[in-house]
Structure 1
Amino acid sequence: MFKSINFLFVILLLVVSQQGMAQIDLKKLRAKPDTNIVEKPQAPVTNLQDVMVPIPQLDLEVNYWKHWTKFGINMNQASFSENWSAGGVNSIAIGLLGWHKSEYNKNNFQYVTEIDLRYGKIRTSKDGQRSLAKKNNDRIFWDHKIAHKLSKSWAIYFAVTFESQFDAGYKYGTAQGTNEEIITDTVSRFMAPGYFTESFGLEYKPDNTFSLRLGTGTARQTLVLDERISNKPNDKDRFGVDLGSKFKNDLAFQVTANLDRNLSNNLNIKARYNLFADYKELSDPDHRLDATLTAKVTNLVNVSLSGIMVYNSDEDVKVQYSQALALGLTYTLPR
């Protein structure tokens, strides 16, 4: 009995000792929590070295030029049946136009060149009788200007302008005893007349849509190189050039105003007015006004209303004018 009690006590002691050993082993396996939650600052790096990063050469250049180009065709047509009671004249008209402007600006220096070319013809027919094709537009205009800015809106300038026409202009009549239309006289040709104008003075240009030139020192040469015109006895047909002569030089005061402004997104007005007052005849200056109102229908189709008014006593004592309304195709660069 006593031996069995001792044996049970020994077994109980062994079990308790094993449980205590297991508890001690588990405690050792537990991970201790990190009580330091703030990161320690890293020590500064003291062995930095400068590194040269290569920068590629982009080879960029400033373009001081700007260019604008416009060319197109205008057409007008009307036809009537033979029994059209209200009467009418069949007609067809075609006009071509080309315009280019280049402008160079650098610091206070500016150079501008502008060329405007226009040519058109019209033909009519009535009662089966066709008339001769007559031109309804004919113009060569080329202007060059260099300027140096004196302030934001004022500059001193020098300009050279050339004006003439492509084709001959005629007077018409009818053949004796018939209704056939014939040419009776030649009134103008290329370089008959032709004008060269050199102008020096001040220019007022508050923005890119308007400019005003005051040419206090202006010279204009009028050339009539066709002898059939220069030898005409009528003074008005020789454009102020003396009989038999082909050249005339005038010194004058000139005012030139240019307007090119968008009235809306699809409506533009372009006008040029020129006053030329000969110092010998300041009371009788020459005037010319060219104006065109263009409405854009699409990127290519537009409707234009243009007009020209001219007063030159060497050509006629009355005001000359022309007007045209046209539907045309016009391509403009840049797009």
Structure 2
Amino acid sequence: MNYFSALFLNSSKRNFKVGIIFFLFPLCFNPVKGQAPYDFSKLIDLSNGLNAARLKVEKDTSWHKMELGANFNQGSFSPQWTGGGVSSIGIGVLFNALFEKKKGKNSWRNDLQTQYGFAKNEGQGSRKNMDRIFFDTKYNRDVSSKCALFANINFQSQFAGGFDYSLNADSVMIKRKVSRFAAPAYFTQSIGMEYKPVDYFFLDFAPGAFRQTFVWDKNLYVNTPNQNNYGVAIGRRIHYELALMQIVANYNKDIAKQMNLKFRYQLYSSLADPSKIDSRLDASLTAKLNKYMNVNLSAILVYNEDQSANIQLAQGLNIGFLYSF
């Protein structure tokens, strides 16, 4: 049992939700320090034609950013090289797209992040070293300057097959397929409240979220403590799960000139078993070397008992081409 589990076991579901609501409410509606309360006497009288003519038309704004990148690394050794080493080659590509549209109190945000890469070592063949599909779409309806009601859909998976490599008793390498596209895949729908005090950070709280875990290939399995196939029953393709709550924290800011820090943390607590809390942190630090070259450090941290009883970590450091448009 981890820290989050103990927190849930020591608090009732109802008291927790009430506490969250009372915490968010003053954040949403309290005026900024030093700012006077709103003067309702300044409301425009629509019966007055002159005042009605002064009404401003709601702004229709949209913003988008796309990134296309690639990195390459290679090393080789001649047969005469006495220092030892293995020739290798590695290639990675990424495509990210962010689209935001706001009109009045309504806004729509779409975020797509994709990565794929592989490395090939002499005598071992090619093996993927990064593979990620992330898509998130969210509709917001503002209720104050800092808070909004939202409806959200999220999808996460990978492009290609993943393998587990191990040696058998005869020291022969055994390759076992443990993943592919939509095996697993996570499809989540949620509604709740967003707290956004600044442009580069928001916190989502969803007291009700619904998640489907897909393992579309019935022949796949993962060596979890009870071999439960990413939480999907052996022989089935989908596992349905209702959340007691889901929390998402998202940060995306240029912390220095030509340097950007981005992270997304997701916490998901099952209604059936609140002591089981899934956590995932995606983080990246990117520095631009010039107009088209950059260096990127990324990490993914996962704790999900349906996958493994241990904390999982994936990390990468890349230098390559990045074009933003």
Query: Given the two structures, how large is their TM-score scaled by the length of structure 1?
Result: 0.74
Q: Which of 118, 126, 130 does residue 133 from structure 1 map onto? A: 126
Counterpart residue type for residue 133 of structure 2: I
Matches within 5 A, 1:111-190: 111-125=108-122, 130-173=123-166, 184-190=175-181
CA distance in structure 2 between the partners assigned to 1:274 and 1:233 by the alignment = 21
* 8 Å contact from structure 1 (residues 230, 241) kept in 2: no
SS in 1 for 2:183: coil
Which residue, out of 265, 269, 272, partners 1:277? Answer: 269
SS at match of 1:196: strand
* Structure 1 pair 285–77 and aligned structure 2 pair: CA distance change class (3 A): same
The one-letter code matched in structure 2 to 1:293 is L
Instruction: Answer whether contact 1:187 1:237 (CA < 8 A) is retained.
Output: no
Q: Which runs of 5 or more residues in structure 1 are unaligned?
A: 1-60
> Relative to 1, partners in 2 of residues 1:216 and 1:166: Cα closer, same or farther, differing over 3 Å?
same
Residue 11 (structure 1) aligns with: none
User: 1:246: which partner in 2?
Assistant: 237
The reply on whether 1:65 has 2:56 as its aligned counterpart is no
Contact 1:212 1:258 (8 Å CA) reproduced: yes
The 2-side partners of 1:245 and 1:230 are apart by 11
Q: Mean alpha-carbon deviation: is it higher for 152-161 or for 85-94?
A: 85-94
CA RMSD of aligned residues (A): 2.4
Report percent identity of matched pairs.
Answer: 37
* Partner amino acid, structure 2, of 1:122: A
Which SS does the other structure have where 1:239 is aligned? helix
Deviation of residue 87 (structure 1)? 4.0
Q: Summarize the Cα distance change of 1:166–1:199 in structure 2 as closer, same or farther, 3 Å threshold.
A: same
Correspondence for 2:250: 258
Q: Tell me, in whole angstroms, the C-alpha distance in 2 between the residues paired with 1:76 and 1:294.
A: 18
CA 1:281–1:297: 2 relative to 1, 3 Å: same
Residue in 2 aligned with 1:214? Answer: 205
Once the two structures are superposed, residues 167-187 of structure 1 have per-residue CA deviations (whole angstroms, 9 ceiling, x without a partner) of 0111235699787x5x53210
Q: Please state whether the residue corresponding to 1:236 is helix, strand or coil.
A: coil
CA contact (8 A) 2:225 2:308 kept: no
* Aligned partners of 2:64 and 2:100 also within 8 Å: yes
CA offsets 1:85-117 (integer angstroms, 9 cap, x no match): 554333221111000011110111010111111
8 Å contact from structure 1 (residues 75, 94) kept in 2? yes
Contact 2:178 2:222 survives alignment (8 Å): no
Residues 7-43 of structure 1: CA deviation (Å, up to 9, x unaligned)? xxxxxxxxxxxxxxxxxxxxxxxxxxxxxxxxxxxxx
Superposed counterparts of 1:1-335, under 5 Å: 63-82=60-79, 87-125=84-122, 130-173=123-166, 184-229=175-220, 235-236=226-227, 238-252=229-243, 253-333=245-325
> How many pairs does the alignment contain?
267
More moved, 259-268 vs 226-235: 226-235
Q: 1:230–1:245: 8 Å Cα contact kept in structure 2?
A: no
| Alpha-carbon displacement from aligned partner over 1:260-319 (angstroms, at most 9, x marks no partner) | 111111111111111111122222201111111011100100011111111111111001
